[in-house]
Amino acid sequence: MSRKTKKVVCRASQRKVFSTRHPGAVARFVFYLLRNRVAPLYYFEPLLKIVDGLRQFPEARNDLLQICEQLAELGYPNAGTLRSLILGGTQEGSPPSG
């Protein structure tokens, strides 16, 4: 990851204003970083912090699920758990329990 990209990711993970004003765009940016292998393949923590902040926004859900798929492809061991959290404990396509 370039130094400039790393700064942007770190700032985004520290400031909720990015994710609250433009959650879909932020999620797509994280997906872009993972898909194009711009993010380091051994240190996902800043990106996971951003994803955690975006989980509350329904408009970012599909992008977050794509992020989970990319994380799984890159070998992140908790990608399935993260996907379940994003889905709210439901299987995709099934109604929420409750």
pLDDT digits (tens, 9 = 90+) for 22-81: 889 989 989 998 999 887 777 888 889 889 989 999 999 999 999 999 999 999 999 999
Q: Which helix (H) or strand (E) holds 4?
A: helix 3-14
More confident: 21 or 49: 49
How far is 28 from 18, CA to CA, in rounded Å? Answer: 12
- Nearest-angstrom CA–CA distance, 56 and 79: 18
